Amino acid sequence: MASEVSSIDLRVSIGSLKLKNPVMTASGTFGYAREFEPYVNLHRLGAVVVKGISLEPRFGNPPPRIVETSCGMLNAIGLENVGVDRFISEKMVTLRQVNVPVFVNILGDTLDEYREIANRLADVEGISGIEVNISCPNVKKGGVAFGTDPEMAAAVTTVVKKSSTVPVMVKLSPNVTDITVIARAVEDAGADAVSLINTLIGMAIDHRSRKPALANVIGGLSGPAIKPVALRMVYQVAQAVSVPVIGVGGIETAEDVLEFMLAGATAVQIGTANFVNPRASEEAVEGLAHYVATERMGSIREMIGGLVLP
Amino acid sequence: MPQFQKKTQITRIERFSSDIVRLTLDSPDIASVAKPGQFVMVRTGNGKDPLLRRPFSISQTSNRKHFQILFKVVGRGTSLLSHCREGEFLSVLGPLGTGFTVDCQRMNCLVGGGMGIAPLLFLGKTLSRTCPENRPLVVVGARSKDELEPMVNDFNEIGLTVHPATDDGSLGHHGLVTDVLKKLDLREDSEIFVCGPHLMMMAVHFFCEERRYSCQVSMETSMACGMGACLGCIVPVKSGAYAHACSDGPVFDSKELLWQVK
Ligand SMILES: Cc1cc2nc3c(=O)[nH]c(=O)nc-3n(C[C@H](O)[C@H](O)[C@H](O)COP(=O)(O)OP(=O)(O)OC[C@H]3O[C@@H](n4cnc5c(N)ncnc54)[C@H](O)[C@@H]3O)c2cc1C
Ligand SMILES: Cc1cc2nc3c(=O)[nH]c(=O)nc-3n(C[C@H](O)[C@H](O)[C@H](O)COP(=O)(O)O)c2cc1C
Ligand code: FES
């Protein structure tokens, strides 16, 4: 299988960055990649996106932080992370030893924080791209999430883009009325790509204890349950922007990847599925190679936006 | 630390009561490297619902070929598992987590409640092999005799004396394992290994703190991945931060944790 995979054209491009295949892993679901080494040949993936990094370390939310729901899960991790300095001095050291493009997912409470993180990452060796999580509350604007307002989303994009030397991908929140408006705003502000969707805000209640299942009361829904919503949003955004669209949400198998590519995605990210099947990402790559070979396609890129409408 | 994702065959199913089941799984990879206190993540079905794997302690290994999980049916996942048949395959990840640290020089005492007894069987077996001159004491409790007896028998089989306690008095002491523990003649250098309901572990922790015994606890939390990726499995530690039960634990020195009523 290995030699077959390398002779088949699965390559895609995100701005100036060339990936050997469209399968990436989603932020917060793949640790710092090393956790998956016992299960996955990391160098066979298109790219990995690491857990969201903030300027200062964050402890995150109190437990319980996760709960399973029908065909999915809710999480309220609260963006626990080691902070940008320890990320650079510890995590990047091991990530550089893994032969796979690395996207660093960043988050902040203010524009200045986003700018500062991007600055500190700018000269760090081994980073192939930045993914900007804009689903965080803007503390200077009453806690409204950056990603729900086109102007704030554009402003974050501008500051990160100015400080970065690598492609910048902006990760869109689905918790908005019209996601294409935000997508266009960040494209105009210079985003090299958009990834979507982040988790959908949801809630679970235990009727016996009469308590919310999560200590944070609300959390982000992910997994197969959100796939139809993600697919619809990718389809709409792919028509609204000309930068590459990265599909995220409920993707588990090569078939799921093909569906997102048909809807217009150039690449995809696998998230929650990594928890269920740690080999999901590599198996998706194998499945795509098999598909391209049996369909006798010149390249996987033929799938992008290839949806046949009724 | 070696970890595997395996399709393991169920070679034996034992039903101890209407809701307590023990599965023997065939996996030389996992069985030959597992240490007491480690756990596995098991898929309970092939579909998308229930989606996540469920964590179970490795309760015994044999011949570096098989390992067992012992569980109680509490919800959908465990119910599905309890309906498996011999010969079927289960997808298992493991062995995961850190496991217990043992010292043959100390007086070792295992304290288990309910399904918390599961990992202690493996520990008891290992201790009696590695420290044959210094066999551990065992105190275990459950609701009733039918639940507890099979496990007491397992400890007896490896030559360990057991002090049982049951909620209904049908076997051993009528009451809590902590009552039994307090009456034991423990040496100053005792090391207590405890796994069970949160309140029981908390009571044992405070008892050990008072007597200055070392105490290792195995913590239960909700887990999505079992391998340090989701950051869902936190337990509060004294420094004000959180530890991750799947990768920093599930076994912790009880002094490091912040104990509070849930
Ligand atoms: C490291 C570790 C080792 C474990 N070892 C064992 C073991 O050896 N034997 C065993 O029987 N169980 C063990 N558990 C607990 C076991 O994982 C849960 O009982 C199981 O996940 C429940 O799944 P379910 O689908 O049946 O229940 P669900 O439908 O998920 O839940 C049913 C009910 O049980 C409660 N519940 C779920 N998980 C837990 C939990 N972890 N602790 C307390 N209540 C819970 C839920 O709140 C709910 O009320 C262990 C847990 C951990 C973290
Ligand atoms: C436990 C968990 C943690 C996550 N952490 C982050 C994060 O730090 N930054 C981010 O942009 N997205 C985060 N996400 C969102 C995922 O990257 C992804 O967008 C979402 O889960 C949908 O994809 P999925 O259905 O394949 O999981 C997290 C998701 C989960 C389940
Ligand atoms: S269970 Fe996912 S990090 Fe511990």
Answer yes or no: is A208 within a domain.
Answer: no
* A-proximal residues of B, 101-140, CB under 8 Å: none
Q: A294 — contact with chain B (CB < 8 Å)?
A: no
| DSSP conformation class of A230 | H
How far is the C-alpha of B108 from the C-alpha of B139, rounded, in Å? 11
How far is the C-alpha of B233 from the C-alpha of B252, rounded, in Å? 14
Q: Do residues A27 and A49 touch, judged by C-beta distance below 8 A? A: yes
Q: A217 — contact with chain B (CB < 8 Å)?
A: no
Contacts of residue B59, defined as CB under 8 A and 6 or more positions apart, other chains included, come to B22, B67, B68, B69, B70, B118, B119, B121, B122
Q: Which of A212, A215, A251, A209 is nearest to A230 (CA)?
A: A251
For the annotated catalytic residues of A, the residue numbers are 136
Radius of gyration of chain A from Cα atoms? Answer: 18
How far is the C-alpha of A255 from the C-alpha of A284, rounded, in Å? 8
Minimum-distance ligand 2 atom for the alpha carbon of A226: 25
| DSSP conformation class of B115 | G
CB atoms near residue B80 (< 10 Å): 16
Residues of A in contact with B250 (CB under 8 A): none
How far away is chain A from the Cα of B29, in angstroms, using its nearest Cα? 13
B225 to A64: CB separation less than 8 angstroms, yes or no? no
Report angle CA A283, A286, A288 to the nearest 5 degrees: 110
Residues of B in contact with A65 (CB under 8 A): 222, 231-232, 234
How far is the C-alpha of A157 from the C-alpha of B157, rounded, in Å? 66
Confidence of residue B23 (pLDDT cuts 50, 70, 90): very high
**Burial level of B242, CB count in 10 A (0-12/13-18/19+)?**
buried
Omega within 30 of 0 (cis) for the link into A38: no
Domain B108-256, what fold?
A: Rossmann fold (3.40.50)
Q: Do residues B27 and B66 touch, judged by C-beta distance below 8 A? A: yes
Q: B74 — contact with chain A (CB < 8 Å)?
A: no
Domain region containing A132: 2-60+79-199+223-303
Q: Which long-range contacts (CB under 8 A, 24 or more apart) does A198-202 make?
A: A198/A133, A198/A135, A198/A147, A198/A171, A198/A172, A198/A173, A198/A174, A198/A248, A199/A75, A199/A135, A199/A174, A199/A226, A200/A174, A200/A175, A200/A226, A200/A229, A201/A175, A202/A69, A202/A74
Domains identified in chain A, total number: 1
Residues of B in contact with A70 (CB under 8 A): 49
What are the pLDDT digits (tens) for B148-194? Answer: 999 999 999 999 999 999 999 999 999 999 999 999 888 889 999 99
| pTM score above 0.80 | yes
How far away is chain A from the Cα of B156, in angstroms, using its nearest Cα? 37
Q: At the fourth CATH level, which superfamily is domain B4-96?
A: Translation factors (2.40.30.10)
Residue B16 has pLDDT above 70, yes or no: yes
Q: What is the pLDDT along chain A (310 residues), one digit of tens a residue?
A: 444 545 799 999 998 999 999 999 999 999 999 999 999 999 999 999 999 999 999 999 999 999 999 999 999 999 999 999 999 999 999 999 988 999 999 999 999 999 999 999 998 999 999 999 998 777 777 777 899 999 999 999 999 999 999 999 999 999 999 999 999 999 999 999 999 999 999 999 999 999 999 999 999 999 999 999 999 999 999 999 999 999 999 999 999 999 999 999 999 999 999 999 999 999 999 999 999 999 999 999 999 999 999 8
What are the pocket residues of ligand 2 if the criterion is a CB atom closer than 6 Å to any ligand atom?
Answer: A 26-29, 51-52, 75, 77, 79, 105, 133, 171, 198-199, 222-223, 226, 248-251, 270-273; B 230
For tokens 């490297």, the residue is: B33
Omega within 30 of 0 (cis) for the link into A137: no
| DSSP conformation class of A91 | I
Q: Do residues B184 and B99 touch, judged by C-beta distance below 8 A? A: no
A75 to B232: CB separation less than 8 angstroms, yes or no? yes
Helix (H) or strand (E) holding B204: helix B198-211
pLDDT of residue A6: 55
ipTM confidence: 0.94
How far is the C-alpha of A196 from the C-alpha of A35, rounded, in Å? 24
Q: B153 — contact with chain A (CB < 8 Å)?
A: no
How far is the C-alpha of B34 from the C-alpha of B134, rounded, in Å? 23
Contacts of residue A177, defined as CB under 8 A and 6 or more positions apart, other chains included, come to none
Q: Do residues B39 and B94 touch, judged by C-beta distance below 8 A? A: yes
pLDDT of residue A2: 47
Q: Which of A129, A152, A155, A156 is nearest to A141 (CA)?
A: A152
B51 to A71: CB separation less than 8 angstroms, yes or no? yes
What are the pocket residues of ligand 1 if the criterion is a CB atom closer than 6 Å to any ligand atom?
Answer: B 39, 50, 54-57, 59, 69-72, 74-78, 115, 118, 220-223, 250
For tokens 């992370």, the residue is: A81
Residues of A in contact with B49 (CB under 8 A): 70-71
Contacts of residue A195, defined as CB under 8 A and 6 or more positions apart, other chains included, come to A131, A169, A170, A171, A172, A245, A246, A247, A248, A269
**Burial level of A99, CB count in 10 A (0-12/13-18/19+)?**
exposed
How far is the C-alpha of B223 from the C-alpha of B245, rounded, in Å? 8
The identity of residue A235, as a single letter, is Y
Q: Domain locations in chain B?
A: 4-96, 108-256
Cα-to-chain-centroid distance, residue A106: 11
Minimum-distance ligand 3 atom for the alpha carbon of A275: 2
Q: Which of B74, B18, B15, B14 is nearest to B44 (CA)?
A: B74
Q: B75 — contact with chain A (CB < 8 Å)?
A: no
CATH code (residue A271) = 3.20.20.70
A27 C-alpha to ligand 3 centroid (Å): 14
Helix segments in chain A, DSSP class H = 2-7, 84-86, 92-97, 111-122, 150-163, 179-188, 227-240, 254-262, 273-276, 280-294
Strand partners, A170: A132, A194
How far is the C-alpha of B102 from the C-alpha of B97, rounded, in Å? 16
Q: Do residues A14 and A193 touch, judged by C-beta distance below 8 A? A: yes
B221 to A63: CB separation less than 8 angstroms, yes or no? yes
B3 to A73: CB separation less than 8 angstroms, yes or no? no
Distance spanning both ends of chain A, measured CA to CA:
36
Same fold, B4-96 and B108-256: no
pLDDT of residue A1: 46
Q: Do residues A56 and A206 touch, judged by C-beta distance below 8 A? A: no
pLDDT of residue A3: 46
pLDDT of residue B18: 87
Residues of A in contact with B235 (CB under 8 A): 63
Confidence of residue B240 (pLDDT cuts 50, 70, 90): confident
How far is the C-alpha of A177 from the C-alpha of A23, rounded, in Å? 28
